[in-house]
């Protein structure tokens, strides 16, 4: 009776929903599952942020519709954080827009600029909403392969001129999900020049910028001269402050891009719950010591997993950032079948690389979101089945 639209039919199944379905089924059978699949922090939100939410939620003023553009206090807090972290100046009134999580900004941005048949340049593999947002806006994702031989960076010179002429947006994401690759200043400079030459909008997703190891410090594209002319950057409190369920992030950068996204949002949602915005201000302006301890914890888990994988002869690079490890499958097998085998034989959940795009075939992603004791147990299970 209900006939789905062509756009909805064009969307692939959302990868993480399929994984969650398999996980729930296995647990319903009473199996002891070690979940290295979805990247959801296992640590609680810092107490001072929870307390700020509790206090703000008691105030009836915060029970009304929020401002679409976000509280001025939150926009100022975001601007202050960017200045301290990246030494980037942002105008809170025109260059910052709070979001109901960075995911919705990624998904909604194409609605502001994509016309039917326009291209977006999308990394492959990638976070799925880059493609989904494009398709729902009537556009066509042009996939830029992220190959290990190129450090999982897109080769911009290989994009055909005919595609560039029809493209409006280019997505980049470093530190990268799913590959955990990082990018240096020369790459961002190349992207800015490429965007200027081809009249593109750069969407830079840096949700994992604070999750880095071995002294590495990821940068913002907005640190590059002239980047603000062509770039919008998206960030989130989800990973930095263990706030995935709170749904709060932001877009910042080019004022025209921010204004256009704000217009889309004003027709779709009514802003972030005000009490959550107050808590977000507390997160950005409050104590930050938990970030270094969080990174130390994930680095320890990374080292445990990597030493275990290498003892099995598996190939993977030590990630300098994110809480993911991108692993080449040690035998010729399709990544979906390989992950299904891990679940069946070892009660382990990993994410198949092909779920992030065809260039992810031959890889799996494991998340460092369980205690190191469980990671050690996962390695022992792998030893028995591999």
CA 176 – CA 29 distance, rounded (Å): 35
- Among residues 184, 194, 185, which one has the least CA distance to residue 121? 194
Q: Can you list the domains of the chain with their CATH numbers?
A: 6-44+289-385 (3.90.1150.10), 47-285 (3.40.640.10)
CB 23 within 8 A of CB 33: yes
Six-digit token pair at 355?
């779920």
Six-digit token pair at 263?
């217009």
Per-residue pLDDT tens digits for 142-174:
999 999 999 999 999 999 999 999 999 999 999
CA 69 – CA 259 distance, rounded (Å): 9
Length of the chain: 386
DSSP 161-174: HHHHHHEEEEEEES
Per-residue pLDDT tens digits for 39-57:
889 999 999 999 999 999 9
Give yes or no for residue 194 having a pLDDT over 80: yes
Top-confidence residue, 1 or 355: 355
Residue 25: predicted pLDDT: 81
Decide: helix, strand or coil at residue 207. coil
Count H helices and E strands in the chain, helices first: 13, 13
CB contact set of 264 (below 8 Å; sequence gap of 6+)? 108, 109, 111, 112
pTM more than 0.85: yes
Decide: helix, strand or coil at residue 52. helix
Residue 23: predicted pLDDT: 78
Per-residue pLDDT tens digits for 252-305:
999 999 999 999 999 999 899 999 999 999 999 999 999 999 999 999 999 999
Residue 15: predicted pLDDT: 67
What's the distance, Cα to Cα, between the start and end of the chain in Å?
A: 47
């Amino acid at each position: 009776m209900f006939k789905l639209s062509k756009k909805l039919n064009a969307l692939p199944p959302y990868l993480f929903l399929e994984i969650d379905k398999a996980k729930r089924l296995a647990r319903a059978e009473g199996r002891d599952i070690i979940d290295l699949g979805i990247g959801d922090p296992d640590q609680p939100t810092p107490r001072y942020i929870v307390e700020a939410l509790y206090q703000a939620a008691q105030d009836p003023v915060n029970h009304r519709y929020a401002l679409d553009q976000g509280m001025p206090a939150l926009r100022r807090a975001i601007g202050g954080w960017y200045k301290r972290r990246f030494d980037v100046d942002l105008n809170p009134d025109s260059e910052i827009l709070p979001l109901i999580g960075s995911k919705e900004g990624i998904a909604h941005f194409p609605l502001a600029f994509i016309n039917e048949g326009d291209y977006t340049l999308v990394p492959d593999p990638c976070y799925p909403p880059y493609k989904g947002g494009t398709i729902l806006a009537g556009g066509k994702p042009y996939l830029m392969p992220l190959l290990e031989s190129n450090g999982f960076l897109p080769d911009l010179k290989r994009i055909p001129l005919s595609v560039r002429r029809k493209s409006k947006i280019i997505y980049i994401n470093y530190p990268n999900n799913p590959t955990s690759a990082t990018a240096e200043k020369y790459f961002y400079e190349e992207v800015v020049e490429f965007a200027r030459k081809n009249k593109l909008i750069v969407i830079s997703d840096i949700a994992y910028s604070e999750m880095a190891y071995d002294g590495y410090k990821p940068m913002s594209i907005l640190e590059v001269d002239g980047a603000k002319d062509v770039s919008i950057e998206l960030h989130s409190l989800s990973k930095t402050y263990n706030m995935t369920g709170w749904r709060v992030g932001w877009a910042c950068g080019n004022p025209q891009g921010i204004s256009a996204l704000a217009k889309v949002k004003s027709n779709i949602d009514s802003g972030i719950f005000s009490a959550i915005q107050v808590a977000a201000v507390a997160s950005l302006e409050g104590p930050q010591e938990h970030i270094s301890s969080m990174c130390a914890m994930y680095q320890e888990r990374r080292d445990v997993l990597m030493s275990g994988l290498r003892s099995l002869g598996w190939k993977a690079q030590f990630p300098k950032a994110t809480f993911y490890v991108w692993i080449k499958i040690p035998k010729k097998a399709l990544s979906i079948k390989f992950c299904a085998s891990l679940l069946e034989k070892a009660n382990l959940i990993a994410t198949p690389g092909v779920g992030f795009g065809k260039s992810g075939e031959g890889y799996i992603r494991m998340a460092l979101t369980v205690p190191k004791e469980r990671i050690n147990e996962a390695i022992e299970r792998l030893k028995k089945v591999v």
